[in-house]
C-alpha cells in the first residue's frame, strides 16, 4: 500500500478542521459551555492557543484534555522550530489530536 504523507499545510488544516467553529469535533465535544471553535482561516498560532483552551476546559474529559494539551505543546513548538523541525512537531500535534479523538469515542462508548 502506497500511503501519501500529509504536507505541513495539510497537517495544519487537519488540526484546524478539528477545531472548526461550525463542525469541528472538539468544540462539539465541549458543548456550549466550552471555548468557541476557530474560523477556517485561523493560523497555527490560533490553533495552538485554542487547543490549549480546550485542554483546560472543564467540559472536556480528562483523558481527552491530556492529549489536547500535548497537541497544543507540539503545535506551539512548530511555531518556533525551523522548517525541518516544524514538520515533526505538526505531525506530533496531529497524532495527539487523533489520540484525543479516540479517547473521546471511548468516553462516549461508556
pTM of the complete model: 0.92
Helix extents (H) in 19-81:
25-30, 44-56, 62-80
d(CA 11, CA 90): 6
Write the CB contacts of 77 (distance below 8 Å, at least 6 apart in sequence): 85, 89
Condensed to tens digits (0 to 9), the pLDDT of residues 5-48 reads 899 999 999 999 999 999 999 999 998 888 999 998 899 999 99
Write the CB contacts of 91 (distance below 8 Å, at least 6 apart in sequence): 6, 11
Condensed to tens digits (0 to 9), the pLDDT of residues 72-104 reads 999 999 999 877 789 999 999 999 999 999 999
The residue behind cell 502506497 is 2
Amino acid at each position: 500500500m502506497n500511503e501519501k504523507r500529509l504536507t505541513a499545510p495539510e497537517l495544519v488544516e487537519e488540526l484546524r478542521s478539528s477545531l472548526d467553529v461550525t463542525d469541528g469535533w472538539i468544540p462539539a465535544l465541549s458543548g456550549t459551555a466550552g471555548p468557541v471553535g476557530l474560523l477556517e482561516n485561523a493560523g497555527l498560532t490560533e490553533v495552538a492557543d485554542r487547543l490549549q483552551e480546550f485542554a483546560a476546559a472543564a467540559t472536556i474529559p480528562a483523558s481527552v484534555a491530556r492529549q489536547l494539551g500535548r497537541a497544543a505543546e507540539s503545535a506551539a513548538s512548530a511555531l518556533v522550530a525551523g522548517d525541518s523541525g516544524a514538520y515533526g512537531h505538526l505531525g506530533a500535534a496531529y497524532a495527539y489530536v487523533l489520540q484525543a479523538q479516540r479517547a473521546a469515542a471511548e468516553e462516549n462508548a461508556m
